Amino acid sequence: MKQEERTRKLLIMHYQKYPQLQIQDLFKYLHQSSFGCEHMVSSLKTSIEYIRNEIQEQTFYDDTLIDVLDGEYSRVHLAYISQGLSVETLGKLFFSSAKKEKNGRTNLEKKLKVAKELIHENILPFHMKEFEKAMKEWQVDGYPAKHHSDVFRATYNPAYRVIANKYVKFLPTFATIDKMLQNGSQKIVIESDSTNDKTLSEILEEFYDCKRFHIEYSSSSLNEKQQNKQEVIIEFI
């Protein structure tokens, strides 16, 4: 799927899910899609404290866990904590997801062009002149990060963190591990693809106090696919 088609599809889906979104909410979605969370993170300790405080103040209106963004990130809702994910792990994931996106502005402007096309086709519910005026003002200011509109906050009560997709795909595993760790030190065995640049076991070492032990498959009778696999024992301290 071409990037323009993906942007178009995701914007339509986002509007269908959140029909009360305003122009600034659309801008926020596209900014996070292009820049991730690079502007949000000051320190790991602060990231964890903010999540803990926000959870105490929030009432979750629905069971939304993840909203896919149009890029290398997703919105992971704080409701994911109910799946067993710890506040500490979510904070670490958020902190580790922050990076400078070199092509953020270019990508953002391409996505804004797609949004204008959807408005022209009456698929998105905004007036073109109003959208273009807001977009021009945003551009002049250098495309700063946006807050959600009052309407969006009142209707949907958004509470999430922007997390890199390279971590999002392992969220069920993180949640399972966090539930295990509540009972003390544990060991798990992972079958890992040794051809990957970064395996799950390596990612786990980023976020947990653990030791990694490799057990290579050595049988000459294994086929090529099996020979690329290895068992990894992860011991959590």
Domain ranges (residues) in the chain: 3-168, 185-236
Residue 192 confidence (pLDDT): 60
The confidence score (pLDDT) of residue 197 equals: 44
Task: Yes or no: say if 96 and 164 are a contact pair by the CB < 8 Å rule.
Answer: yes
Provide the angle, in degrees to the nearest 10, between the axes of the packed helices 3-17 and 104-120.
60
Residue 159 · residue 53 · CB < 8 Å: no
* Model pTM score: 0.87
Q: How many CB atoms lie within 10 A of CB 147?
A: 11
Predicted pLDDT at 215? 61
Question: What is the residue whose two structure tokens read 């896919």?
Answer: 68
Q: What does the alpha-carbon distance between residue 84 and residue 55 come to, in Å, rounded to a whole number?
A: 14
Q: What tens-digit pLDDT sequence spans the chain (237 residues)?
A: 699 999 999 999 999 999 999 999 999 999 999 999 876 677 899 999 999 999 988 766 667 899 999 999 999 999 999 999 999 999 999 999 988 788 999 999 999 999 999 999 999 999 999 999 999 999 999 999 999 999 999 999 999 999 999 999 999 999 998 988 887 767 777 766 554 546 777 888 888 888 777 665 555 544 555 555 666 777 776
How many other CB atoms are there within 10 angstroms of residue 102's CB atom? 8
Q: Which two tokens stand for residue 130?
A: 């109003």
Rounded Cα distance between 69 and 52, Å, is 24
Residue 237, CB-side half-sphere exposure with 13 Å CA sphere: 8
* Amino acid, single-letter form, for residue 144: P
Distance CA 141, CA 213 (A): 51
Q: Are 98 and 31 in contact (CB under 8 A)?
A: no
